[in-house]
Amino acid sequence: MTHGSYNPYENAQSQFDRVAEIIGLDEATRVLLRQPMKEYHFTIPVHMDDGSTKVFNGYRMQHNDARGPAKGGIRFHPQETVDTIRALSMWMTWKCAVVDIPLGGGKGGIICDPRNLTENEQERLCRGWVRQLAKNVGPFIDVPAPDVMTNGKHMLWMLDEFELIHGGRFPGFITGKPVGMGGSLGRTEATGYGLIYTVREALKSFAMRIENTSASIQGFGNVAQYAAKLYQELGGTVVAVSSWDNTDKKAYTFRKKSGLDIPALFSITDPFGSIDKNKAGDLGCEILPEDAWIEEEVDILIPAALENQITLENVGKISKQVLLIAEGANGPINTDADEIIRKSGMFVIPDFLANAGGVTCSYFEQVQSNANYYWEKDEVLQKLDAQMTSAFKAVKETAKKHDLYMRDAAYVISINRVAQAVKMRGWV
């Protein structure tokens, strides 16, 4: 998940410090906002199917809830780290603020590899996570959601355990639930679609038609899949996708210069976003090394896998043709590489704006669950489009007005909104 000495939390704090200086934030507010307000570290003993017991490490960080309950995903990953979760909780605060929804930032995780766990073992793990946190989360305190290698099934197990403990029905406790069990229509597509809504608006500002553009994507999990789907439906050409191959235990880039068949790729992808290399060859894809995605001569790069993927080692491989990078993942460009991209003049849609469609639709799900009233899919996606478009335009206008890099402009809006909430509550 991290490479070398890279620390995502230090990266998140560095980004924050830069903008805190720009806006002249006072020292007390800086100290408060550059770290989580609450952290929970705990162990989860799980009875395995073979009769043994294995102990897993679990976490939940609540960065700031001045604007509303903490909100953020729970990821399962064998290389999860405490500092990754701290960084992600911080980015969630800015993400909720930039799209102006009344939630704060949180994040959770368990160090595990669900690909090596049976379904029964995954269920026990989910329930154990909730048992450790049942008094510290809830629909009006902290609302979890899916993240890397978690899905609606995991969320429903967690909801069921929370309701068993508290003796009632609390569908607003968690989002990303299956449709029909309190989940929202459109939630599956939300993060990927939201990303493409911002790409569409960026291309409009360049006076470019999406039909005349091409893209290369890193990752093929939920975000990348639906970003690729909508981008292709709007007329764009996806030239390459980088994805993990679970058989070989390594990643490859799958390329087709005339354009990949995204629905066909869906059909040979497992629930964790791993493309079957052999079947990809049958679809006419070239099988290239993992990092080939970043070298493609395309207009748009979409890093939508994990953090720290564009670094000093590979940033120079980005083609001169690339006009736009849309960060589907959280923190995919490290600080050093970001300085190079910033100076190049390349347009970047920062992560906590580009991928905010997921938390926006999670907010819609929370509202629907708490009200016990559910919207049609078209209504959800229309609301999502309006929210993402409005947020993008506000960031773009701030960047233009103050001659700022898009990332800095997004931070200016977010930090000012959170700082104002903190001050109005009398915390500083």
Taking only the tens place, the pLDDT of each residue in 185-221 is 999 899 999 999 999 999 999 999 999 999 999 999 8
Range of the domain at 350: 188-354
Query: Domain ends where: 183, 201, 234?
Result: 183
**pLDDT class of 83 with cuts at 50, 70, 90:** very high
Give the list of residues 6+ apart from residue 367 with CB closer than 8 angstroms, or none: none
Q: What is the mean pLDDT of residues 313-331?
A: 93
Query: Domain ends where: 161, 183, 205?
Result: 183
**pLDDT at 302 > cutoff 50:** yes
CA angle 424–33–135, rounded 5-degree value: 85
Q: What is the mean pLDDT of residues 354-370?
A: 95
Query: Are 240 and 288 members of one domain?
Result: yes
Q: Considering the domain boundaries, does residue 371 fall inside one? A: no
- For residues 198 and 400, give the distance between their C-alpha atoms in angstroms, rounded to a whole number: 16
Q: Considering the domain boundaries, does residue 300 fall inside one? A: yes
Looking at every residue in the chain, the average pLDDT score rounds to 94
Amino acid at 302: I
pLDDT digits (tens, 9 = 90+) for 9-60: 998 999 899 999 999 999 999 999 999 999 999 999 999 999 999 999 999 9
Q: What is the mean pLDDT of residues 257-266?
A: 91
**pLDDT at 1 > cutoff 50:** no
- For residues 16 and 311, give the distance between their C-alpha atoms in angstroms, rounded to a whole number: 19
b/e map of 23-40 (b: 16 or more CB within 10 Å)? eebeeebbebbbbbbeeb
CATH number at residue 84: 3.40.50.10860
Q: Which is catalytic among the residues 71, 107, 229, 396?
A: 107
Tokens read off for 272: 């964790």
pLDDT of residue 2: 42
CA torsion through residues 56, 62, 68, 71, sign: negative
Query: Domain ends where: 148, 183, 218?
Result: 183
Total tally of structural domains belonging to the chain: 2
Query: Are 198 and 152 members of one domain?
Result: no
**pLDDT at 395 > cutoff 90:** yes
Query: Are 177 and 113 members of one domain?
Result: yes
Which comes out higher in pLDDT, residue 386 or 148? 386
In SS3 terms, 265-306 reads as: HHHCECCCCCECHHHHHHCCCEEEEHHHHHHCCCCEEEECCC
- For residues 85 and 107, give the distance between their C-alpha atoms in angstroms, rounded to a whole number: 6
Query: Are 218 and 336 members of one domain?
Result: yes
- For residues 125 and 246, give the distance between their C-alpha atoms in angstroms, rounded to a whole number: 22
Beta carbons of 253 and 294 less than 8 angstroms apart: no
Give the list of residues 6+ apart from residue 231 with CB closer than 8 angstroms, or none: 196, 199, 210, 215, 238
pTM: 0.89
Is 107 part of the annotated catalytic residue set? yes
Query: Are 331 and 254 members of one domain?
Result: yes
